[in-house]
A and B are shown apart, each in its own frame.
Chain A
Amino acid sequence: GQQLNQSPQSMFIQEGEDVSMNCTSSSIFNTWLWYKQDPGEGPVLLIALYKAGELTSNGRLTAQFGITRKDSFLNISASIPSDVGIYFCAVAGAGSYQLTFGKGTKLSVIP
């Protein structure tokens, strides 16, 4: 099946620092998504990307859809304690409603 390589697996940062994480794939995808999951909850959509090269922001979050359509990154600026959680990338193939998720990046923010 499709496989996404998400890195880093986990990160510990100081409050106020910027964060960057990314996902790569060996296949081309038409939609890249970034979700955040809090403990014991379902994922919540943060940013959706539909076009190669697209750069989209949502508050302190910025994500880009790679020009090759095989990768994406998510940046969080000026991190705060409530940014703690697991961030997942996900992809949707052409004409498919199904999502494939990366393995997640666990973010810990030290106050």
Chain B
Amino acid sequence: GAVVSQHPSRVICKSGTSVKIECRSLDFQATTMFWYRQFPKQSLMLMATSNEGSKATYEQGVEKDKFLINHASLTLSTLTVTSAHPEDSSFYICSARGQGAVSYTQYFGPGTRLTVL
């Protein structure tokens, strides 16, 4: 089946540093990848939609200069949290949609736990 991986699974960093999170589709090509953020005991909130080779589309309230998204290939998207602050601590989850897939078919990664000290 379709597998999506994320790296790292957890990261702890100091305030002001930048953190890069990778999302890979391991056995299929993903034309579209999505980035979600989930705070404790809350639901998944879509941050941005990323299409291979084009700029990401950000949801309202998500700062594009703070959360840099790159989708340079059909199997890899990266999310960089720039100048991270404690309020950016959260569980970041990516999902990927395959080529030719019906609209609902998103496969989720295992998530990355970010803690900013």
Interfacial residues, chain A to chain B (CB-CB below 8 A):
1, 31, 33, 40-44, 48, 88, 92, 95-104
B104-A99 in contact (CB<8A): yes
Q: A31-B103, A33-B104, A92-B104 are in contact. Are A101 and B43 (CB under 8 A)?
A: yes
Q: Is B75 an interface residue (CB 8 A)?
A: no
A98-B46 in contact (CB<8A): yes
> Which chain A residue shows the least CB distance to B97?
A97
**CA A88 – CA B111 in complex, angstroms?**
16
Query: Within the complex, what minimum Cβ distance (angstroms) separates A3 from chain B?
Result: 11
A102-B43 in contact (CB<8A): yes
Contact with A101, one of B44, B97, B113 (Cβ below 8 angstroms): B44
Contact residues of A: prevailing secondary structure: loop
Query: Within the complex, what minimum Cβ distance (angstroms) separates B96 from chain A?
Result: 11
Interfacial residues, chain B to chain A (CB-CB below 8 A):
4, 6, 32, 34, 42-46, 49, 60, 91, 93, 95, 97, 103-104, 106, 108-111, 113
A103-B42 in contact (CB<8A): yes
Q: A42-B109, A42-B111, A97-B97 are in contact. Are A48 and B44 (CB under 8 A)?
A: no
**CA A41 – CA B46 in complex, angstroms?**
16
A98-B34 in contact (CB<8A): yes
B111-A41 in contact (CB<8A): yes
A43-B103 in contact (CB<8A): no
For the complex of A and B, list the 10 residue pairs with the smallest distance between their C-beta atoms, beginning with the closest.
A42-B108, A101-B43, A101-B44, A103-B43, A42-B93, A42-B111, A31-B104, A43-B108, A42-B110, A92-B104
**CA A88 – CA B108 in complex, angstroms?**
13
Inter-chain pairs besides A33-B104, A40-B110, A96-B103, 15 sampled, C-beta below 8 Å:
A41-B110, A42-B6, A42-B95, A42-B108, A42-B109, A42-B110, A43-B93, A44-B108, A88-B44, A92-B104, A97-B32, A97-B49, A101-B44, A103-B42, A104-B43
